[in-house]
Structure 1
């Protein structure tokens, strides 16, 4: 392509784009079109006075850069403007019906809901915003066609910046929004079925926490052993409802409308084991998230920055520049089939140390500082503190709604 500002040719197959003296060139040309001159990048054939297939087809000779997918590589691809997906009538009807169903469901539950809500900075619009009794706002984004990961992150970050928790809805297991923001996947249904209230199950994006002790009599596999062994430790992992033991009831879109707005269901992000750059976004019950945070010993906030996965890293073939316009030529589109992103497998979970056998411990040996810190952390008076009968950790052991075992030990004992 031709850079009209600098008057130079750009070769997207080279790491330095053919201009080693311009280290910021890649950042400049991959900026959003709205943040730069739309005529900054020009089809090289058009610039040379040769036939531009896009222009002769009644479209634009001006270009932008996207990230392609070809044989496991992620090359940079020059595309003509406009390339934005135009929703088909069927997609538009599905989108509208889903949005109206969310708003109507919220109204039936007595929740405030509005459609097509612009952000204060006007940079994006939520399809529907549902407000809970405590002021919690959920921004529903119905995305039934492909959207780039960078757009998903930008719009999600913009929503969070304005106090809105994003909730993306997809119908395709290959949707790039999956695990890049809080999401839910529904079936690909005719718009009339959606409008008529046909059962709309959340097929992906909602999970339940299961905790189990890894013993021979257990019904789950060991997370640490590749064979059939059992390590004796306590494992915790997230499962879709159909893979829970016992099987959980499916979650419907009406359930998520209510529970997300009231805080009964909340988003959580679980980094992948062995790969801190990737992870799973999911909706879970508030109780499951609290138990998970107790197990891992920390809160799990949503990532504030996009996570670059291995298959997102740009690759360069280092070839001679192609001076021919390839607009409309599918063989040059660098668009392999997108991989499945909504997978039913567990996340990889977490393994706790072996629980120590119950033993007597003198509460008098707990120092005043430890007792004060535990009291503040657990939100109870110091005199209600005691030791868990399972792991000897300080917990709310006495008083109203107290228990003999902490939540983690209770989960293990109950075979969760």
Structure 2
């Protein structure tokens, strides 16, 4: 492409774009079109007086930069304006119906709500803001078409800066907003069904915390042992309602409108144990978040900075510049299908040491974190915990359903 400001050719396949003396060039050309001159970048064929295919297709010779996705690579690709996505009539109707449903639901519950709320000096508009009794503000962003990760981060950060908790709504499991901000996924429904009040189940983005003792009698598999083994430790992980044991009731969009505004449901960010730069955003009950923070011993704030993720790092093929306009040519540059981001799987969870042993000589060796985890795993208050008379591990020793020996020791004593 041609840079009209500097009067230079730009080769997007080179790390320095063909101009090693201009380190700022990449940032300039990848800026949003609204933040720069729309005619800054020109189709090179058009500039040279050759045929520009876009002109016959109803687009302009002015260009913008996007990131492609081919075989795991993320090359820069020049595309003709207009930059903004133009929703289809069906997308627009879905968007409007969902926004109106959020606002109407808020009104039904006696909550203050407002549609099309300007944020950050009117540079962005939140679809709907619902305000709870305590002043908690939830910014609903209905996003039924593709939006770049950087836009999700930027708009979420703007919302938080202005005292609004963002809540993004998607209908596609490949949506780039998933796990980049607090989110919820609903079914791809006709706008008429949305407007008529048909059930809108939250299919992704809302989870429940499950804590269990890893023993043979457990209904869940071990998180650390291969095969069907059991490690005797306490595991904690997050599950969608359908995968909870027993299965939890589904969460509907009306539930989330009310509970997010009242603080009964809250956003939480769980960093990936294998990759510190990645993690899961989810909506959870306030009680679950409190228990999780006790178990992990920390509270992880929602990330606001837009750090490059592994699948967003630009790659450069280092080829000769192509001076031919390729707009409209089939198979010239086909991006791979966007990967599924809402996998509906567990988050990786956390494993505490084997159920702590309550030694009579040192009763203080059990930490508050271990005691809280044991209480959750066994489903009893902390004051009902006590040592197994056989192995010394914490168990439900006092109160209702109390016993002297844990299940494992009872099995051993009974010869099983």
| Distance in 2 (alpha carbons) for counterparts of 1:205 and 1:332 | 36
Conserved? CA contact 1:278–1:307, under 8 Å: no
Query: Given the alignment, which residue of 361, 367, 374 partners 1:393?
Result: 367
The answer for the alignment partner of 1:413 in structure 2 is 378
SS at match of 1:106: helix
Task: For structure 1, list consecutive stretches of 5 or more residues without a partner in the other structure.
Answer: 364-386, 396-404
What aligned pairs does 1:50-129 form with structure 2 within 5 A after superposition?
A: 50-129=50-129
Deviations 1:344-377 (A, max 9, x none): 11010111122322234789xxxxxxxxxxxxxx
The answer for the alignment partner of 2:414 in structure 1 is none
The two structures, once aligned, show a CA RMSD in angstroms of: 1.8
Conserved? CA contact 2:153–2:304, under 8 Å: no
The answer for the alignment partner of 1:147 in structure 2 is 147
| Distance in 2 (alpha carbons) for counterparts of 1:329 and 1:266 | 47
Instruction: Give 1:321 deviation, angstroms.
Output: 0.8
The answer for the alignment partner of 1:273 in structure 2 is 273
The answer for the alignment partner of 2:188 in structure 1 is 188
The answer for the alignment partner of 2:402 in structure 1 is none
| Distance in 2 (alpha carbons) for counterparts of 1:179 and 1:307 | 13
| Distance in 2 (alpha carbons) for counterparts of 1:359 and 1:253 | 48
Q: TM-score, normalization: structure 2?
A: 0.88
| Distance in 2 (alpha carbons) for counterparts of 1:307 and 1:273 | 17
| Distance in 1 (alpha carbons) for counterparts of 2:349 and 2:371 | 20
Instruction: Give 1:183 deviation, angstroms.
Output: 0.4
| Distance in 2 (alpha carbons) for counterparts of 1:3 and 1:112 | 48
The answer for the alignment partner of 1:250 in structure 2 is 250
The answer for the alignment partner of 1:218 in structure 2 is 218
Instruction: Give 1:253 deviation, angstroms.
Output: 0.2
Deviations 1:369-394 (A, max 9, x none): xxxxxxxxxxxxxxxxxx7xxx7335
Instruction: Give 1:297 deviation, angstroms.
Output: 0.5
Is 1:309 aligned with 2:309? Answer: yes
Deviations 1:291-316 (A, max 9, x none): 11111100121012124322211111
| Distance in 1 (alpha carbons) for counterparts of 2:118 and 2:46 | 38
| Distance in 2 (alpha carbons) for counterparts of 1:309 and 1:28 | 21
SS at match of 2:18: coil
SS at match of 1:277: coil
The answer for the alignment partner of 2:168 in structure 1 is 168
Instruction: Give 1:34 deviation, angstroms.
Output: 1.6
Instruction: Give 1:71 deviation, angstroms.
Output: 1.6
Instruction: Give 1:228 deviation, angstroms.
Output: 2.3
Conserved? CA contact 1:63–1:81, under 8 Å: yes
SS at match of 1:294: helix
The answer for the alignment partner of 1:345 in structure 2 is 345
Deviations 1:211-247 (A, max 9, x none): 1111222221221123322222111111010110110
| Distance in 1 (alpha carbons) for counterparts of 2:256 and 2:61 | 45
Is 1:15 aligned with 2:12? Answer: no
Conserved? CA contact 1:77–1:334, under 8 Å: no
Conserved? CA contact 1:209–1:236, under 8 Å: yes
The answer for the alignment partner of 1:179 in structure 2 is 179
Conserved? CA contact 2:33–2:83, under 8 Å: no
Deviations 1:235-292 (A, max 9, x none): 1111010110110000000000000000000001111121111111100000000011
The answer for the alignment partner of 1:296 in structure 2 is 296
Deviates more, 1:152-161 or 1:305-314: 305-314
Conserved? CA contact 2:213–2:355, under 8 Å: no
Conserved? CA contact 2:234–2:373, under 8 Å: no
| Distance in 2 (alpha carbons) for counterparts of 1:18 and 1:263 | 52
Is 1:321 aligned with 2:321? Answer: yes
The answer for the alignment partner of 1:199 in structure 2 is 199
Task: For structure 2, list consecutive stretches of 5 or more residues without a partner in the other structure.
Answer: 381-416
Q: From the superposition, tell whether residues 232 and 88 of structure 1 become closer, same or farther in structure 2 (CA, over 3 Å).
A: same
